[in-house]
Structure 1
Amino acid sequence: MHDNLLIFGKTGQVATELRALLPEAHFAGRDEADLTGPAACADLIARVAPAAVINAAAYTAVDKAEDEAEIAHLVNASAPTAMAEACAARSIPFVHISTDYVFDGSGERPFAPDDTPAPLGVYGRTKLAGEEGVVAAGGSYVILRTSWVFSAHGSNFVKTMLRLGAERDALSIVADQIGGPTPARQIADACPTLVRQLQIAPEKSGIYHFSGAPDTTWADFARAIFEAAGLDCAVTEIATADYPTPAARPLNSRLDCTATEATFGITRPDWRAALTDTIATLKGSQ
């Protein structure tokens, strides 16, 4: 089955992990299907005729999206909608990665998949529009919302902290945003399971949540990174209001993942173990 999987994305964190996990799958990069041209995505699905499609590509530059709303909408909304429609027409499963940014981050309880979305910025709005397009396509699908993704690849908080922690004695880190750091490798591991179960039981279609455990703050996550890497860098806790960014960040990114475990048997990964592995990978590649 894996040799007949079409995966959109080549260089992102989840796509990179999927390439290591499923080397025989067909990976489509910008050269083959530019997501700013949604019709090209549908055409590729028709041409490859896969058994299933995974979309691991997205416009993820949260702040830049505020100035590039049109491009973000094409990549995050129009393209996955076109993919989902092409999959529905062929009765094949579609797995799409989404984000906690579809919520406004209010309150303190974890957001459930059926909670009402209320995105704060362009990135969240375009990702939500993509979700709505996938659902409306009417095929068998899983939308997997995740948060705070990290790995040894691409740009992410862990790599930024390792770089800054080696350069400085102290850093000020936001302490009033809470969420679950999620290893990209575990998101990649979940994708074939979702595909297989959708093929057997399309009635499992829906929106699900998947994030690492335990929930933590960015400041405490930074402390864990420095400790795991043996870096002597003190963390001063600051409020989100003290670190203004072009796009607003949700304060509460906790995700209720119980339905994902109940339906698919996929449990929340321990990000602390994955962090140790990620740092070891990065040190090994130096």
Structure 2
Amino acid sequence: MHEAPVIEVGGLHLDLSVILMLLVTCTIVFVVARLATRNLSVENPGKLQNFMEWVVEFIRNMISSTMDWKKGKPFLSLAMTMILFIFVANMLGLPFGVVTEYHDPAKATIFGHEITSVTEVFKAAHEKGEEAHAEVAWWKSPTADLSVTMGLALIVFLLSHGLGLFKNTKNYLKHYVQPYPFFLPINIIEQLSKLLTHGVRLYANIFAGEVLISTIMTLAKASIIGAIFSVPLLMAWQGFSIFVGAIQAFVFVILMMVYISQNLESHDEEHH
């Protein structure tokens, strides 16, 4: 597997590939949204406007399936932004990758900072008395990084529980001691497990896809026969990955709306 370009700044370990890809993702989503709303027309809408209108209607139906539309309408922009962001993020690692090789740890620097992940590889090899080189991946899907997906899941977690606590206080707090008060620890664990599975599910699916792409590319480098067989394999897997990336964006957002709905609605019915 490729190493991540990690540097240490002020005691913090920063993954430059994640920062780069998050900026790219945000830029693409912003540009698409800006282009789709630049020349709005009722009589002669453009293809991009039609596409965005379809996305809005799709998101609206998604929200309506989890809660009453009057309650869900304020979350339309949030859901649209989240699904576009995650879908674009999932797709970025498919078209190509940018990988640099290092054979000398002294050259593993950027912006005057040592790439610690590379130097650690050389240190480990040196201790074993082996020769080493490190490959660093700069271009990948940001959602193939656990810190990104858990960060997104944490945003949803804090938002949904904050809404429940401040807008549905009585029912929200009551839910933790239902059906009996001694269920409090179990209900707390249940909520924490939702946070964990929400982030890990997205990460695992996208990371597994990128691992397989990396394996196919390794096969292509092995021999001429491997290169020939890798082409159809890579095309087939990338096509399937587009489907997986779209499904995972949908699953993440639908779960987000379900969690928000659960904390905004009364929990009485589900315990009777």
- TM-score, structure 1 normalization: 0.28
Higher relative contact order (CA 8 A, sep 6+): 2
Whose strand proportion is higher, 1 or 2?
1
Structure with larger Rg: 2
- TM-score, structure 2 normalization: 0.29
Whose helix proportion is higher, 1 or 2?
2
